[in-house]
Amino acid sequence: MAKKAVCIMSGGMDSTLAAYMLRAQGYEIVAVHFNYDQRTQQKELESFRAITARLGTGQTYEIDLDFFAAIGASALTDRSIDVPTGGIEAGVPVTYVPFRNGIFLSIAAAIAEKEGASVIGIGVVEEDSSGYPDCREAYIEAMQRAVNLGTRDETQLTIAMPLVHLKKEQIVAEALAYDVPLELTWSCYSDEAAACGVCDSCRLRLKGFELAGIPDPIPYRVKNGVS
Amino acid sequence: MAKKAVCIMSGGMDSTLAAYMLRAQGYEIVAVHFNYDQRTQQKELESFRAITARLGTGQTYEIDLDFFAAIGASALTDRSIDVPTGGIEAGVPVTYVPFRNGIFLSIAAAIAEKEGASVIGIGVVEEDSSGYPDCREAYIEAMQRAVNLGTRDETQLTIAMPLVHLKKEQIVAEALAYDVPLELTWSCYSDEAAACGVCDSCRLRLKGFELAGIPDPIPYRVKNGVS
């Protein structure tokens, strides 16, 4: 029986690369996607489906988490809070969704226990990214410990975060090396037809492509917002 | 502003007592209930609503987690797996729902961060209970650490588990001391009109009342299954 990795895949560049890296290590990928009433939910779901069809996966899970709208407190899940477009600032941005990765990892852990997986894959980036507390290595390590204490003794899970110390230009370069279909990935926080080019996620992505010296294959409304 | 405790409340005896204890410590209770397609979902929800109306709470959250049915792997969420009725056995029982408390605590942490709460309350019982790995003190402590590393630096949460070392008869006695409306609580895993009396949860509850020397006010189909 193939060893399995449950990969949390948003449809974005980072989590897609993480899944490709784990597949290259011989894991069967159990792909998990979350719809949490985020602004670009439909586009992210389409990206997830296109990417997993290309990647080739075992079981896939598309999980609806409607309650994020009731919690709100983030520009991604509360339409009354604007997504910032003026450039990346210090501190935790208003796009932070409270403990989103904690919720995602907990559900992934339940799926991993059910599937008999040994790895959970997540595309968190700490050093050159969003400023979200739930993307920090120390958090993921603590979460791994909690997951292993809170599941059956025979369930022993490693949370793989192969991108955590990469810069965005390294992620672009690695994505090319792993033949990741970058044209299928979506990172924009706010738009679904063409990426806005000015939200934090677009800025980080565009900066990565620019520094890697490679054109980004997805459409943008504007591309001059690179921070 | 009142200090707040986000309490995970199933409608059962243990989590109800935990919430009453925290309210007695001066916390405003933010009550969170999960519908996860468990067998007694409707009865538990009714119990939650009746209990919180009696307790008096701030904001309440009723959260639907439909995906538990897709994960299954438990007698509580997969109708093709029977709830055991023959008495409590060693090991993790088939009623264990993979990492359920991890998922519940992660969502409670997001709510706590949004609400500005300082405490999450959970009614886990380790020593005289279900054999579920996600009810162990060591797990809850590890989860508290993870939650604090994975949320904003100003979010500092304590996960209170005031029942973790209590025996069931102590829980019954404490519930009386705190004036918990035991008649409104529901513990049975399988039935909603009258408690079955023979599932693990009924057995533990009935044992607690028997040892405490107090009659259980809820209706039972049979009461002779005490282990």
Q: Tell me: the pLDDT tens digits for B200-225? A: 999 999 999 999 999 999 999 998 65
- Residue A194, number of CB atoms within 10 A of its CB: 12
* Residue ranges at the known binding site of B for Zn(2+): 188, 196, 199, 202
Is residue B222 less than 8 Å (CB to CB) from chain A? Answer: no
Q: Report how far residue A21's alpha carbon sits from residue A177's, in angstroms, rounded to the nearest whole number.
A: 10
* Mean pLDDT value of segment A9-19: 98
Question: Do residue B142 and residue A139 have CB atoms under 8 angstroms apart?
Answer: no
Q: Do the chains contact at B110 and A133, CB–CB below 8 Å?
A: no
Query: Which residues are CB-contacts of B166 (< 8 A; sequence separation ≥ 6)?
Result: B125, B127, B128, B174
B103 and A99 within 8 Å at the Cβ level: the answer is no
Copy the structure tokens of residue A75: 């520009």
Q: Which of B71, B114, B149 sits opposite A142 (nearest CB)?
A: B149
The answer to whether A112 touches A157, Cβ cutoff 8 Å, is yes
Structure confidence at residue B227 (pLDDT):
43
Q: What average pLDDT does this structure show over A143-151?
A: 98
CA distance A146 to A75: 29
Does the pLDDT of residue A227 top 60, yes or no?
no
CB pairs under 8 A between A and B: 132
> Among the residues of B62-99, which ranges form H helices?
67-71
Backbone angles phi, psi at A122, to 5 degrees: -140, 145
End-to-end CA distance of chain B: give it in Å, rounded: 47
pTM above 0.90, yes or no: yes
Q: Is the pLDDT of residue A225 over 60?
A: no
Q: Chain A residues with CB inside 8 Å of B61's CB?
A: 67, 70
CA A99 from chain centre, in angstroms, equals 14
Task: Give chain B's mean pLDDT.
Answer: 95
Question: Min CA distance, A214 vs chain B (Å)?
Answer: 33
Q: Rounded to 5 degrees, what angle do the CA atoms A78, A82, A83 make?
A: 100
A71 and B151 in contact by Cβ < 8 A?
no
Q: In what order do the strands lie in the sheet with B158-160?
A: B60-64, B28-35, B4-8, B119-121, B158-160
State whether B106 and A92 contact (CB < 8 Å): no
CA–CA separation, B190 and B210 (whole Å) = 21
Q: Find where tokens 């309490």 sit.
A: B7
Between B64, B103, B109, which is nearest A110 by CB? Answer: B103
Pairing of strands A60-64, A28-35: parallel
Q: Identify the CATH class of B4-186.
A: alpha beta
- Residue in B98, B103, B114 closest to A71 by CB: B114
User: Beta partners for A35?
Assistant: A64
Residue type, A208: G
Tell me the per-residue pLDDT of B69-110, one tens digit each, with 9 for 90 and over.
Answer: 999 999 999 999 999 999 999 999 999 999 999 999 999 999
Chain-chain contact of A64 with B63 (C-beta, under 8 angstroms): no
What is the rounded distance in angstroms from the CA atom of residue A54 to the CA atom of residue A35?
A: 20
Q: Which residue of A has its CA nearest to B101?
A: A150
Closest to A104 in 3D by CA, of B211, B49, B25, B67: B67
- pLDDT value for B128: 74
